[in-house]
């Protein structure tokens, strides 16, 4: 029997994982990628001896990566190694309070009690609820195609129904957190998790309160070699599976025959396949590859997720008070989100995230130096003046860091680069530079994301951060599993 052929459009983490899964199923797989490198947002660059992960920096649930090696009969540790961070994140407040979010839930609750005066039991109870919500409700959404969830047998959904509190749907995450804790700093720390899918905690449903389970109960991980080793190890695995990669090849059309996806056009050639999977942003897939204006417009009916401004700074000194992941909170979180999601602007007192992989591995920066990935949440692109906004943001970030860290950070920046919503769009074709496709600001958002299989076109599937179940590495990897399970 002839081997069936699958084409994957885009070599982001979800495209790579889908290619590996389909190859393990016996398909001959070809991946077309417009860039010259694999990984999409999960890419990397080196500048003057400093290693920079260009996009994602927070890694949870490594089992979704290692599972792919097992699936192909390989030992994951031969390709990919990682370690758990002792401190999931370090939080800095303008008041001078510093909180270490230890990866161990009990130590974290003790820290919240001693630094903030928060009731330790409230923190532990919150994390227990987050865990059961994740296992009883979250996993249903993350592991199944959206259309199958409503058809699941009662035995599978009964726990979800029992665990669903009305407040999860009808309260915002912030309102829910205010009802759970006594200290505003605790509320702010737990509100932050809405940004994990580019959402606004003052609008997004309290269902997102399950997200801290991943970081505070399960932990955050550091892949040795930096985040890029996730891409590199999966790319090596894919090559070993004889998957064919065609780089520098922009796909310009998905062609149909009798309502079936039958071929793609790339480099003016038509290449046929039995199955086509698009890992491209879903808006661009409909608009440019399928020429379907109506479906493209439908995608935009959902609010876009936030974007970001990132400064990559080579720092020629070290800051012992910083960890792998650090957050410097705004003093007015509510107005910061209002600026981002309603005024489509940056806030003058931004919350700043700093990731420093040289804290985990010295070779990520020259001796005595640190590689800083400095990120501020930003609105998606609606043609704001990004050059001006970025300059203003840089000044605000430096002033805030100088004030909290009691330093003059500019003196230590020896090399620099940046990313903003327009370059996120141009480098990874993410419409308007949104990091996660659509936001989860509405309670129906999880149901309204694009499903993984086309309803009107046979043999066509969608995978990655802009479709079900959502953005972020673990969800993209789950999306690849859902797609592969849908393909018989
Ligand atoms: C700055 C930033 C920080 C982030 N932080 C985190 C984090 O800390 N943790 C986390 O889990 N997630 C994070 N994310 C989100 C995460 O990076 C994404 O959800 C995930 O990487 C998306 O993977 P993907 O495979 O869906 O798509 P992408 O990585 O966007 O890949 C899509 C690929 O398709 C290619 N492509 C597009 N159009 C075409 C075409 N016409 N023809 C051929 N190829 C095409 C693109 O070049 C790209 O390589 C972050 C994202 C960004 C940008």
Residues having CB within 6 Å of any atom of ligand 1: 9-15, 32-35, 40-42, 55-58, 250-251, 279-280, 308, 310, 424, 428-430, 435-436, 464-465, 471-473, 476
Distance from Cα 293 to the centre of ligand 1, integer Å: 23
Residue 243 · residue 19 · CB < 8 Å: yes
The CA dihedral of 360, 364, 370, 372, to the nearest 10 degrees, is: -90
Contacts with 445 (C-beta within 8 Å, 6 or more apart), sequence order: 199, 204, 302, 438, 439
For a mutational test of ligand 1's pocket, the pick from 16, 45, 55, i.e. the residue with the most ligand atoms closer than 8 A to its C-beta, is 55
- Which residue, 76, 206, 207, 88, is CA-closest to 142? 207
The CATH number fitting domain 5-83+225-302+438-486, selected from 3.40.190.10, 3.40.50.20, 3.40.1350.10, 3.50.50.60: 3.50.50.60
Q: Whose CA is nearest to atom 13 of ligand 1?
A: 56
Residue 87 CA, ligand 1 centroid: distance in Å:
26
Beta strands in 157-306 (DSSP E): 221-223, 244-246, 251-257, 260-266, 269-272, 275-278
Model confidence, pTM:
0.96
User: Of 41, 230, 251, 433, which is best to mutate to test ligand 1, by the most ligand atoms within 8 angstroms of its C-beta?
Assistant: 41
3-state secondary structure 86-122: CEEEEEECCCCCEEEEECCHHHHHHHHHHHHCCCHHH
Question: Residue 393 — φ and ψ, nearest 5°?
Answer: -60, -45
Contact 192, 127 (CB under 8 A): no
Q: Which pLDDT does position 473 carry in this prediction?
A: 97
Q: What is the number of the ligand 1 atom nearest to the C-alpha of 436?
A: 19
Cα separation of 155 and 312, whole Å?
49
- Give the separation between CA 333 and CA 159, rounded to whole angstroms: 34
Strand partners, 221: 59, 84
Average pLDDT on 55-68 reads: 98
Q: Which atom of ligand 1 lies at the shortest distance from residue 251's CA?
A: 42
471 closest CA partner among 21, 41, 36, 8: 41
pLDDT above 70 covers what percent of the chain? 100
CB 266 within 8 A of CB 478: no
Q: What is the mean pLDDT of residues 86-96?
A: 97
Residue that the structure tokens 């029992």 belong to: 162
Cα gap 273→450, rounded to integer Å: 23
Domain ranges of the chain: 5-83+225-302+438-486, 118-215, 306-428
Confidence of residue 140 (pLDDT cuts 50, 70, 90): confident
pLDDT digits (tens, 9 = 90+) for 17-59: 999 999 999 999 999 999 999 999 999 999 999 999 999 999 9
pLDDT given at position 1: 64
Cα(379)–Cα(198) distance, integer angstroms:
10
Task: Judge contact between 480 and 17, C-beta under 8 A.
Answer: yes
**Model confidence over 275-291: pLDDT tens digits?**
999 999 999 999 999 99
Angle, CA of 14, 25 and 36, to the nearest 5°? 40
Which residue, chain included where needed, has tokens 């903003």?
420
d(CA 415, CA 402): 18
């Amino acid at each position: 029997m002839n081997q069936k052929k699958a084409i994957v459009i885009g070599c982001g983490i979800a495209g790579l994982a889908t290619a590996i899964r389909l190859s393990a199923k016996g398909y001959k797989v070809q991946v077309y990628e417009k860039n010259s490198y694999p990984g999409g947002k999960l890419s990397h660059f080196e500048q003057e001896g400093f290693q920079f992960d260009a996009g994602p920096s927070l890694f949870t649930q490594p089992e979704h990566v290692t599972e792919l090696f097992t699936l192909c009969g390989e030992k994951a540790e031969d390709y990919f190694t990682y370690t758990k961070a002792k401190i999931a994140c370090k939080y800095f407040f303008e008041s001078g309070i510093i909180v270490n979010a230890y990866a161990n839930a009990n130590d974290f609750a003790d820290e919240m009690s001693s630094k903030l005066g928060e009731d330790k039991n409230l923190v532990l109870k919150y994390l227990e609820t987050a865990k059961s919500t994740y296992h009883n409700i979250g996993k249903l959404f993350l592991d199944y195609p959206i259309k199958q969830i409503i058809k699941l047998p009662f035995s599978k959904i009964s726990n979800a129904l029992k665990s669903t509190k009305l407040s999860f749907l009808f309260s915002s995450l912030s309102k829910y957190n205010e009802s759970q804790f006594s200290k505003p700093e605790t509320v702010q720390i737990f509100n932050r998790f809405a940004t994990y899918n580019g959402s606004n905690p003052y609008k997004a449903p309290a269902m997102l309160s399950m997200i801290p389970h991943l970081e505070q109960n399960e932990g955050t991980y550091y892949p040795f070699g930096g985040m890029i080793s996730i891409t590199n190890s999966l790319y090596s695995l894919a090559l070993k599976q004889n998957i064919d990669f065609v780089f520098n090849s922009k796909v310009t059309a998905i062609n149909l025959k009798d309502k079936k996806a039958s071929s793609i056009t790339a480099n003016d050639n038509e290449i046929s396949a039995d199955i086509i999977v698009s890992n491209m942003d879903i808006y661009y897939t409909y608009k440019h590859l399928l020429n379907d204006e109506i479906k493209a417009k439908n995608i935009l009916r959902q609010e876009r997720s936030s974007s970001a401004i990132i400064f990559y700074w080579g720092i020629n000194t070290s800051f012992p008070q910083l960890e792998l992941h650090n957050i410097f909170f705004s003093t007015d979180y509510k107005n910061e989100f209002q600026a981002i999601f309603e005024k489509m602007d940056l806030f003058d007192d931004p919350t700043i995230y700093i990731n420093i992989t040289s804290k985990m591995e010295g070779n990520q920066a020259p001796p005595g130096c640190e590689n800083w990935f400095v990120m501020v949440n930003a609105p998606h692109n609606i043609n704001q003046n990004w050059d001006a906004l970025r300059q203003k943001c840089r000044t605000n970030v430096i002033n805030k860091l100088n004030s909290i860290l009691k330093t003059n950070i500019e003196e230590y920046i020896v090399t620099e680069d940046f990313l903003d919503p327009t370059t996120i769009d141009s480098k990874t074709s993410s419409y308007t530079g949104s990091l996660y496709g659509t936001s989860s600001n509405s309670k129906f958002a999880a149901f309204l994301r694009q499903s993984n299989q086309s309803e009107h076109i046979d043999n066509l599937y969608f995978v990655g951060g802009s479709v079900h179940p959502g953005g972020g590495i673990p969800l993209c990897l789950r999306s690849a599993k859902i797609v592969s399970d849908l393909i018989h």
